[in-house]
Structures are given as structure tokens and as C-alpha cells.
Structure 1
């Protein structure tokens, strides 16, 4: 009813119908006919100016040139729970009309805080591909990861530790448990050291086992550099991430109906994968690492039938090994160039400056009792404090937050501060209660023998005075405010 009242009032003062009537009054009869044809889409009905083009099935109400009224109509369609946020234009265009309607709706939505925070990114993430440096020698640089939550076997294992050499692509699979500690992984590392020695570089994700002080101390003492992926950037360890589904696919073909014997198939899985030609090196991992592919039972039977004797004299073997290593590194360089061309297609490089504000994706596991399915897609804003690498930046995430502060540019998006205040959403606070988020502390006073602070709330227009007991969750903001007051007093 309120919208109708505004529309009727706007129709009377709207320059469109007024101009049409004034123009028609000054025209000759023949000109009036042509004039009516020009504005035939507009007509008055039930005290409302309406619009119907030949493409419209039904007439639409013309909204006066009133920015506040138009925003109110868009808000009723876009912000309310019965309207929902998607498809606002197609819903409005059925019943309403004004000039440049699509542009004004797009501007309104671009300034919508809930849409910005909750909508996922549907386009390619910005940032160009920067592959890791190709190793010079075998087993100098390795990558590792865990496949967890597998069915428990008779030997009481439910996870697989996957280790891959970054040059030869040869892999090792070690059965273990999901609860294995950093000390346990260090013992598992004996399986690698006894065959290939200690690596100089290890690439892994930020698993709690790999970020533990014990793990860091061990490899720092032996001179091994630990290269961990940044937050929300699994492709940094893409080699191992790609090996995991390959292994799972193999086991899926041979595991028993009870799925409690998959650990017995790991040796054969390792042999089969290392005997298969790798798409990057164009050679089998056994061939790039050992210089030859070990015989399987079928190949052994074939050689015995043919009575073939292969000579592996030392000089020839060394020459072949060097040729294989050169061919392997050359093939990896070509593969990286192909991947770079494919990955960078339709992507733009995103460069940040220190002090810029950006949002980072919401983590899957926040530690809160609610599900991440209905949580926001983006957190922030956070400020860039330093550039770590070409495409890696550090944000000012508080020390108490479980998120790692270093992010790849593809995981971030620029923060656009909303000029239109949206209805604030209640969130779960650190103590488990539901409330609103404090933006800053603006003032302090004493009332009725108690201390109160002037609180500015996120997405709230009006600040309120709150007793100090209500602000137990934000001691850092109170300390920051008090420090600012002390600095002002010193200047005086």
C-alpha cells in the first residue's frame, strides 16, 4: 500500500506524463497522432502511469524518478526472505518499469553486503601459474600428503602416507593411522631415508603434523628445507594431490567386499604406478629413477621364452642414466610450460599493495558448532602487511586465529566497503553465544558507578554505550582505545 501511494504521488509529479500532456496540447491534430504513436507504450490506469511495450505480456507500473522509492522497491524484492537475493531483475521487470532499470539494480546488488560475503566466486581465480623449480637431482626434493578416513584394516591402519619424488615422479605408499603424531611420521620417514637418503627440500600442506615444533626441529637440524603450501592453495602440492586419486582408483579395483584388505594391495599398487609412463616426463618413474623398468611376472616369462640376455655394462649404464635425467628434466620443463599456458588462459595477474584491504575464503573447519555449509563464503576485510613472494601475501590476521596469515592471490578478492548499511547478521561469538561483531571503541564514560564504552558495531549505523561487562570478548579493542587516549594526553 505504501508503494502504491508513492507511485500515485509520483505519477502526478512525474515529468514523463506531464511532458507528454503539455507537448500534445501544443501539437496539431496530425502531429498528435504521430506523438501518441511515439509514446504509445505509456498510459494511465487506476491513477497509475503504466508501461507496456509490444514485447510485454502485461502492463508494468512506471516508477517515478525517485531514487529512494526505487531503492525501496529493489530492497523489497532483493533483501527480504520471501524474495531472496538471486534473480532480482527478472522478478522486478515483470511488474515495474523505469529508465535504465537493469543498471540501477546492478548498482544496488554490487553494494549489497550479504551478497558480497555469501556468494561464491564463479569465475576463474585471479593470478598466473608459477610452477615450482625443477629439481636438479633425484630424491633431492619430495612431496608428501596423507590419504585419511579409509576403512580400518585387520592391521588396524586407516590412512596412507604418500611420498613422491618431484623429479622422477616415483612414489612410495606407507600404511599408517589418522592419529599418527609428528614423531610417528618421523619414524615412517625411515622408509624413505633407507632407500634414497635425506632430501634437501620437502613440499607439503599445512597439516598439524608438519607444522609441529618437533617436525620443524628435526629437519632444521639436518638442513632440510620445509616448503609448505599457503592457505587455500592445494595446487601448491598438486603433484601429491593428483597422486592420491590415482592410488584410490587402483585400490578400488582390487579391494575385497569388506574393504579391510586394501593395505595388502599397496606394494602392488606402488609397483604398478611406478611402472606406468608418466604424462609429464613421458617415461615410467622406475625408468627415470633406476634407468630401467623392473620385470613383472609376465615380462619375466616373455624374456625366458626368448632367452634374451641384456648387457648392462657400467659405462653404458651411466651414459643411459645421464641421458634419462636430461630427458626427464626437459620433459618436465615442457610440461610446466603447457600447464602454464592452459592455467593462465583467461586469467589476469592480481597485484596487491601493502595497506590494501582484501577478503579471504571462509575455512571449512572454523571450530564452531554450526556447519560451514550455511556459513559465509568470505571473511574480512584484512589488510596486506607484506609481500612474501610474487603471488603470495601476508594479511593482518590476529595471532589467536587458527588461519595461517599467508595467502595466494587466487584465494583473495578485493574488499569493497558498502556505502549502504545492510541488516547485520548475528554470529556465534568466541564463548558460543549469539551476538553482533564490534567494529571499534569510540568513547568512554562513567555512569552509575560503572564504566561504559561507546561501541561501533559492524553494519550498524548507530553506536551504543555498553558496560564493560558486555565487552569481555574484545579486550584487544579496549586496549587499543586506551592506548590511543594515552597518546593524545602525551601530545598535550
Structure 2
């Protein structure tokens, strides 16, 4: 009986979708390959939510993966993929040429048809991260944190002046010593230390031959790759100590963990705190890379079907208790949709009488239906016919 009870609990569909996992995150660390030449591989991301400074409120961060050299470019909302591409030509291409590949997240600009078509024609491979796995572009996320810390320290009392310090922040970061490459990005790019105002002493100037300079340059690049590979191996060893190696086969049923529990609809009172943590199960269609899988999601899903293994959990048992996948908007937030109107009444809001309706929402229980103002629903859902 004890064995049967344990088996029944382990195979329970409600338990598998609602209980937390108490094991280490699935999937061993898979470091990205070390670039073979300078500015052949870059990563990029946006820092948003900044106060307006010099009519700009966004910072575009571009980082080279081999030497860690970075560029910080100010933008203003709203911006399009065409405008970002023009800034790329004006600030990156003119200095370093076209990279072989670009690592980025799934921002609307990087996923736009214009952006992908342009770089495809130029011979650059776009490598976007998998859904809900920002560690793919962890290097740029770390640079973002360093830049935000610098601007916070410098402009903490006057945050709207960050635009005046952005160029100094770029100089500060590129002349900062990196333990992973054992030098500064500036020296790694230009082959010399940044100019420092030190009194010149006669007799210190040395003229080296071109051949010797090129040999020193190649030796410096080889040393950079050695230090970077050593740092990656050390990081992988430390990270894998707290991770679990996990693999799925094509055809397996897995549960999917969704994290964007922010929603911007008029439904303000339903809490996702007690909603299931796992959705599915869904069938594994194929394996992408070493730690990502493509799932067979329901028709009409707006979620990218490739997920990191850390967002998946294998279904146990033969019984399947499936539920619909929530709608995810382009901003990564769960979108709520109307199912039907259950009742209506006359309520009082803001000192005046308004018509309220009892609304049943998608991906929620009937008892979670809420009373909403009819005029707000019509503004939020213009196609809604009460």
C-alpha cells in the first residue's frame, strides 16, 4: 500500500504542475565558443526605464565577446529596427566592420523581419537566446549591471544627467582590468595601455620593427584566448556543481514552466500566486543544441517553441491532465482574454453609477470571475461585443 500511494502521488497531474522542484536546475552549463578573431562575435542588449536625459531614455549596449570591449549608445523611445540598424552602421560597423555572429535576446527589434533580413544578406548569423533563459546573453547582462552601477554612483542625486556621463562610463569600462582576459579591453583592442598624462622622461622611447610588433600582437591574442578559455572552464566547473544533467528524448511528454506572471489587462484582482507553475504536458519534437528542446505547443500559441532544459520537467505516469497554454504578448507578459459574461449589475464608481459585468477569464477557474466596469472592458477589448 505504501508503494502504491507513493506511485499515485508521484504520477498525479495536479501535483506535477503545482509543486516546486527541489532539485538543482536542469542542464549543465554550456559555454559559448571562444571567438577566433577580434570583433567576429558580439552581443547586444538594451537598458530601458531610464529618466529622459538629452531627449534619450534607452542605452544600447554592444559587447565584443573576445576582448570585452563595449560601446554604449543612447536611444530615445520609440525606436524602430531601421533606426537601430542605422546606429549600428554609424557606431559599430564604421569602426570594426561586420561581425560573423550576433548574440542577443528576443527583443522586438532583434526579431523583426527587417533586422533579420538585413544581417542575413550581410552574412552575419543572428543567435537569439532561448525563451526565458537570459543566461545565454549573460555577458551583456553583466555589463548592463556594471554600467547601471557606475551611472547610479555618479548621477544618483541628479539621475537626469546620465547622458552627460555615458561617454565617460564607456571609457571607464573599456580601461577596467578584466580577470577573465587578464588585461583591459582597451589594451586588448589597440595593443597598448590607454594614454595617461605622465611626465615624459628622456631616453624611454623605443622603436620596434614591424615584424616584432605583429608577433607581439599575435602573442597577445593567443594569451587572450588562453585566459578566456581558462575563465570559462573555471566558471563551468563552479556552475555545474549546483546543476543537474538532464536529457529528454524526442516524443517525451514534458511540463513547461512559464515565468512572465505580469499582465497588463484590466483584470487586476486575480493573483497568479496560486496558479499552476507548470503547463502541459507537451511533446518534445526535437533537440536544439545541447540543452534546448523544441516543443509541440497548441495551435495559436504566441510563445517561441524552443526552451532551455531548466524550464522543462518530465511527465510521470500515463494519465495526462493537460490545460491550455496562456497567451503571451510581445512584451513577454501573460495576456488575459474574455471568455464570456456571466452576469451584470449597476455599481457605483467614482461617485456615479456604472454598468458592471461579471467576467470569466481564460486560464482561470470560474470562481475567479471578477466584476469589471463595462466601459473599461470596451476600451481594453474593442472587438468585444457584450
* TM category, shorter: 0.7 to 0.9
Tell me, in whole angstroms, the C-alpha distance in 1 between the residues paired with 2:362 and 2:45. Answer: 39
State whether residues 26 and 245 of structure 2, in contact with CA within 8 Å, keep that contact through their aligned partners in structure 1.
yes
Q: Deviations over 1:92-126 (max 9, x none)?
A: xxxxxxxx7xx898667545544432344343211
Do structure 1's residue 385 and structure 2's residue 291 form an aligned pair?
A: no
What is the Cα deviation at residue 400 of structure 1? 2.5
Do structure 1's residue 179 and structure 2's residue 75 form an aligned pair?
A: no
Do structure 1's residue 117 and structure 2's residue 24 form an aligned pair?
A: no
The equivalent residue for 1:431 is 338
The equivalent residue for 2:144 is 244
Tell me, in whole angstroms, the C-alpha distance in 1 between the residues paired with 2:308 and 2:336. Answer: 28
RMSD: 3.1
What are the equivalent positions in structure 2 for 1:251-330 lying under 5 Å apart? Answer: 251-255=151-155, 257-295=157-195, 299-300=196-197, 302-304=198-200, 308-309=204-205, 311=207, 313-330=209-226
When residues 104 and 345 of structure 1 are mapped into structure 2, their CA distance, relative to the original with a 3 A threshold, is same
The equivalent residue for 2:344 is none
Q: Structure 1, unaligned stretches of length 5 or more?
A: 1-66, 68-99, 438-456, 458-492
Tell me, in whole angstroms, the C-alpha distance in 2 between the residues paired with 1:185 and 1:394. Answer: 30
Aligned residue pairs total: 332
Is 178-187 or 190-199 further displaced after alignment? Answer: 178-187
The equivalent residue for 2:258 is 362
When residues 280 and 399 of structure 1 are mapped into structure 2, their CA distance, relative to the original with a 3 A threshold, is farther
When residues 242 and 420 of structure 1 are mapped into structure 2, their CA distance, relative to the original with a 3 A threshold, is closer
When residues 149 and 283 of structure 1 are mapped into structure 2, their CA distance, relative to the original with a 3 A threshold, is same
Q: Deviations over 1:7-27 (max 9, x none)?
A: xxxxxxxxxxxxxxxxxxxxx
The equivalent residue for 2:87 is 188
Tell me, in whole angstroms, the C-alpha distance in 1 between the residues paired with 2:62 and 2:143. Answer: 9
Tell me the TM-score normalized by structure 2.
0.77
SS state at 1:161 partner = strand
Of structures 1 and 2, the one scoring higher in RCO (CA 8 A, sep 6+) is 2
State whether residues 181 and 209 of structure 1, in contact with CA within 8 Å, keep that contact through their aligned partners in structure 2.
yes
What is the Cα deviation at residue 258 of structure 1? 3.0
SS state at 1:261 partner = helix
SS state at 2:34 partner = coil
The equivalent residue for 2:48 is 148
Structure having the higher Rg = 1
When residues 179 and 414 of structure 1 are mapped into structure 2, their CA distance, relative to the original with a 3 A threshold, is farther
Q: Structure 2, unaligned stretches of length 5 or more?
A: 327-334, 341-359, 366-386
Instruction: Identify the structure with the greater helix proportion.
Output: 1
Do structure 1's residue 410 and structure 2's residue 307 form an aligned pair?
A: no
What is the Cα deviation at residue 240 of structure 1? 0.5
Choose from 336, 344, 363 the match for 2:240. 344
What is the Cα deviation at residue 390 of structure 1? 2.1
When residues 207 and 399 of structure 1 are mapped into structure 2, their CA distance, relative to the original with a 3 A threshold, is farther
